[in-house]
Amino acid sequence: MESLFENKTEYSKELYDEYIEFHNKKYGFKEILYFVIAVIFFIMFAILTISNFIKGYRRFQWEFIGILILGLLILVAYKKQIQKFKQQYEKVEKSTKTENIVIYSFFERYFTTSYHGKNDRIYYIDIKKAFELKDRYYFYIDNRHAFILLKANFTKGSEKDFIEFINKKIRFKIKKVKEKKVKENK
């Protein structure tokens, strides 16, 4: 079966860093908010336990155990979050030492990715979110992972025809994101 569109995108450290920055702007606040809410619950539970202890209630042992468990869960979640960030950057550091060209081939019901000899098939229904920036597209398959396609890198078919095609295949419209220009200090 012959592909309708093809895109050859080279993943560089800069491209990946821009994706991480975009992702953190879109979703980073949500992850921080969950952590802050958990810490607030921990503090409220600790205050309740201390006040019950001062009042002389005998349930203090169970509340203390509850505080310890909740505190450990928060600590594990925090450590896991830091570990994810470290893994992301280690992955980028490793991948920038080798050739990182991903070839996307788009067919009628799915698209394929070819990367370091590995081929994957992704159905359009698996795309959860899509964003269009000035020079690229981000196609999210879950809350953390996205495919990056540079608009200028279509080797088969045009970018204009591709966007019409992909809008018919996914269940939602691609969200256009306006990038804010950063003023440089001179």
pLDDT, tens digit (0-9, with 9 covering 90-100), for 93-131? 565 555 688 999 999 999 999 987 888 999 999 999 999
CA contacts within 13 A on the Cβ side of 76: 6
- Does the residue 124 lie in any domain? yes
pTM: 0.66
- Expressed as residue numbers, the domain containing 43 is 13-95
Does residue 126 fall inside a structural domain? yes
User: Count of domains in the chain?
Assistant: 2
Pairwise CA distance, residues 109 & 169, whole Å: 8
Provide the token pair at 185. 């200090």
Nearest to 3 by CA among 113, 125, 137: 113
Of the candidate ranges 35-44, 92-101, 137-146, the one whose mean pLDDT is the lowest: 92-101
Maximum mean pLDDT: which of 66-70, 73-77, 155-159: 155-159
Does any domain span residue 184? no
pLDDT more than 90, % of the chain: 31
Asked if residue 127 and residue 85 are part of one domain, the reply reads no
Asked whether residue 149 is assigned to any structural domain, the reply reads yes
Asked if residue 127 belongs to a domain, the reply is: yes
Distance of alpha carbon 15 from alpha carbon 24, whole angstroms: 14
Point out the domain boundary residue: 95, 115, 141.
Answer: 95
Same domain, residue pair 89 and 112: no
User: 7-16, 77-86, 90-99: which has the minimum mean pLDDT?
Assistant: 90-99
Q: Are 74 and 38 in contact (CB under 8 A)?
A: yes
